[in-house]
Amino acid sequence: MIEISHVNKWYSPTFQVLTDCTTSVTKGEVVVVCGPSGSGKSTLIKCVNALEPFQSGDISVDGTKVNDPKTNLPKLRSRVGMVFQHFELFPHLKIIDNLCLAQQKVLGRSHDKAETKGMQLLERVGLKEHAQKFPAQLSGGQQQRVAIARALAMDPIVMLFDEPTSALDPEMVSEVLDVMVDLAREGMTMMVVTHEMGFARKVANRVIFMDRGEIVEDAPKDDFFGKPRSDRAQKFLSKILSH
Amino acid sequence: MLSNFDFDVIRRALPYLFYEGMTFTLTLTALAALGGLIFGTALALMRLSGYKLLGRIAGLYVDFMRSLPLVLVIFWFYFLVPYIGQWVTGASRPISVGAFASSLITFIMFEAAYFSEIMRAGIQSISRGQPAAASALGLTYAQSMRYVVLPQAFRNMLPVLITQTIVLFQDTSLVYVLSITDFLGAASKVAQRDGRLVEMYLFAAVVYFTISCIASFGVRRLQARIAIIR
Ligand SMILES: Nc1ncnc2c1ncn2[C@@H]1O[C@H](COP(=O)(O)OP(=O)(O)O)[C@@H](O)[C@H]1O
Ligand SMILES: [Mg+2]
């Protein structure tokens, strides 16, 4: 579903943020990406839907090459859901309109159809009664669930998550993770940057460990938690698991 | 002096002052603000587009307009436009452009420079995550501007935009150099005709002051309301 091969990216001629990153996510797979802050996780996941350009290597999603100038990026992105650390709901639009906007403008759905779909998804994330509110009236956990529903409204073939729970108060983390676990169990293809190792243990197929722009470890979940091969991954794991 | 202050001259002139003068002033203000906002937003988008040449052109335009006294621009534009029009259309004689059209175009061009700076600040006040989220949903650059960034920038800047429009409302009185009958022009015509300069100019000042004050008060209330919503 996602093929990442030998990707290199520089933010400036002297600062290489990604070094020879190669991995893949197959259909129905859940891959968790972890690593210290600043290691390039966000950058890598943003390269997948071309929110960030990269200088060399290839990424393809469902057979479409992301870095091909001929690719219709808006169309590709409409099939790749993305959830951000800071939710990024549109504050000037009601919750239901946050869900309808792209359905109507990008997919060309009628307002009624978009609204029906939006309400279904709000119900699914348990926020149907908040449809007419504005984002600022919701808690962080609720906003992030809306953001997930907004991405799902586009019927994505794959979902990307960039630290979806790290901006949340601790008591709100589980309501968001529950939605993500359900999604994973329904067979959604997911690439998730997170430090929630409980989530990884529950639903991940593979875990990728990044450090200083490199993919240091890329292993099936049980191998990763059983015996990380690299020192750096071991250190990282002992640090976050001791919390 | 106040002993021979003639209130009646004002009363008699009221229909003329408001139906003709104020209607012109408000129409010019509204259309110039609208045009200036649209053109100014286009300039702001040019400056933020990332295309160096476009940005440079817009930047030069803004700096140029802001370095000229408005009254001179109004004056020159009125006398030059007929010749520019002749040159553009290849007509045999200068094109006649009405005083209203000429002053409206001048104000739009001039205000655009100021509105563009306001809109630029407004667009920059939106966090980069917003257009990123819009793109991630499949919206094009134009759609993301139209539906996500500009509505928020406009809302954030609304108090400043209205304040600039109040300045514009006062500045429209400069069209007197073209002998146009705006509110001040109408007052001044009556003043000359009846020899009542003190009454008419004082009255005009009170009217400009009152309207601007009420509008400023409205802006402050609006600011308070926006502060609550955010
Ligand atoms: N737009 C940018 N310009 C320059 N450097 C950046 C930019 N975005 C991120 N970086 C840098 O790239 C590195 C990787 O960032 P990021 O991918 O956000 O890491 P992570 O998500 O793993 O914390 C960091 O050192 C960060 O400072
Ligand atoms: Mg990050």
- Report the alpha-carbon distance of residue A217 to residue A229 in Å, rounded: 8
- Nearest listed ligand to the Cα of residue A163: 2
Q: β-strand A2-12 against A56-61: which pairing, if any?
A: antiparallel
Task: Mark yes or no for CB contact B136/A106 under 8 Å.
Answer: no
Residue B165 banded pLDDT, cuts 50, 70, 90: very high
pLDDT at A230: 82
- Would you state the pLDDT for residue B3? 65
Contact between chains at B135 and A91 (C-beta distance less than 8 A): no
Q: What is the pLDDT of residue B197?
A: 86
Q: Which amino acid is at A240?
A: I
For B58-76, how does the pLDDT look when each residue is reduced to its tens digit (9 = 90+)? Answer: 999 999 999 999 998 888 8
Once rounded to an integer, what is the mean pLDDT over residues B180-192? 90
**A1-39+51-79+157-242 CATH, one of 2.40.50.100, 3.40.50.300, 3.30.1240.10, 2.60.120.260:** 3.40.50.300
- Of B43-47, B50-54, B221-225, give the lowest mean pLDDT range: B221-225
- Residue whose CA lies nearest to ligand 1 atom number 4: A11
Q: Read off the pLDDT band of A243 (50, 70, 90).
A: low
Report the alpha-carbon angle B113-B131-B116, nearest 5: 5
On the 0-12 / 13-18 / 19+ scale of CB atoms within 10 A, B125 is exposed
Q: Which pLDDT score is estimated for B227?
A: 66
- The confidence score (pLDDT) of residue B228 equals 57
- Other CB atoms within 10 A of residue B224 CB: 10
Per-residue pLDDT band at A208 (split at 50, 70, 90) = very high
Over residues A138-154, mean pLDDT: 96
pLDDT at B160: 92
pLDDT band at B214 (very low <50, low <70, confident <90, very high): very high
Atom 17 in ligand 1: residue holding the nearest Cα: A40
Contact A82 B133 (CB under 8 A): yes
CA distance A81 to chain B (A): 7
pLDDT recorded at residue A88: 96
Quote the tokens at residue B125: 């006040």
CATH 3.40.50.300, chain A: domain bounds: 1-39+51-79+157-242
HEC secondary structure over chain A: CEEEEEEEEEEECCEEEEEEEEEEECCCCEEEEECCCCCCHHHHHHHHCCCCCCCEEEEEECCEECCCCCCCHHHHHHCEEEECCCCCCCCCCCHHHHHHHHHHHCCCCCHHHHHHHHHHHHHHCCCHHHCCCCHHHCCHHHHHHHHHHHHHCCCCCEEEEECCCCCCCHHHHHHHHHHHHHHHHCCCCEEEECCCHHHHHHHCCEEEEEECCEEEEEEEHHHHHHCCCCHHHHHHHHHHHCC
**Nearest-atom index, ligand 1, CA of A41:** 22
The answer to whether the CB of A153 falls within 8 A of the CB of A78 is no
Residues of A in contact with B143 (CB under 8 A): 105-106
Least confident segment among A50-54, A154-158, B8-12: B8-12
What residues in B contact A46, CB-CB < 8 Å?
132
Q: Does residue A234 carry a pLDDT above 90?
A: no
Instruction: Read off the pLDDT band of B90 (50, 70, 90).
Output: confident
Write the DSSP symbol of residue B146.
I
Percent of chain B at pLDDT > 90 equals: 59
Residue nearest to atom 5 of ligand 1 (CA): A11
User: What pLDDT, in 10s, does the model give residues B4-20?
Assistant: 777 788 888 888 888 88
Could you tell me the pLDDT band of residue B117, with boundaries at 50, 70 and 90?
A: very high
pLDDT of residue B230: 56
> Given this model, what pLDDT does residue B94 score?
82
Interface of B with A (CB under 8 A): 127, 129-130, 132-140, 143, 147-148, 151-152, 155, 229-230
The DSSP secondary structure of B87-130, one letter per residue, reads: HHHT-SSPPP--HHHHHHHHHHHHHHHHHHHHHHHHHHTS-THH
Per-residue pLDDT tens for B123-160?
Answer: 999 999 999 999 999 999 999 999 999 999 999 899 99
Enumerate chain A positions whose Cβ falls within 8 A of a Cβ in B. 46, 49, 51, 73-75, 77-82, 84, 86, 88-92, 101-102, 105-107, 134, 136, 150-151, 154
> Who lines ligand 1 at CB under 6 A?
A 11, 17, 35, 37-43
CB contact (8 A) between residue A106 and residue B138? yes
Ligand 1, atom 26: closest residue by C-alpha: A38
| Mean pLDDT computed over every residue of chain A | 93
Instruction: Tell me the domains of chain B and their CATH numbers.
Output: 15-181 (1.10.3720.10)
pLDDT attached to residue B205: 93
